[in-house]
Amino acid sequence: MYSVLRKPSLTKSVFLKAIQQDHRSTIYSKPPKEKIGPVQSVFAMCVFAVTLLAPAGWIMHHIPDYRQRSPPQP
């Protein structure tokens, strides 16, 4: 009976070890091979800002149009 109860935990631990090994392979402790300059950093931040703020700006710009529409009929 003990071996039956122990088997699922063994499978789980093997599975977790496989995940941990895959995850560790992507972490590097050395300095970066290519340095990222300030222009590239500013460009990346601008892309993130536009990606996050553009949809909200679109919705806020069209709020008067949304208010003039009649509510949908059920």
> Worst-scoring range by mean pLDDT, 11-15, 26-30, 53-57?
11-15
CA angle 58, 54, 60 (to 5 degrees): 30
Range of the domain at 12: 2-27+34-68
pTM of the model: 0.48
Q: What is the pLDDT of residue 18?
A: 64
Does residue 74 fall inside a structural domain? no
Q: How many domains does the chain have?
A: 1
Q: How far is the C-alpha of 36 from the C-alpha of 34, rounded, in Å?
A: 7
Does residue 14 fall inside a structural domain? yes
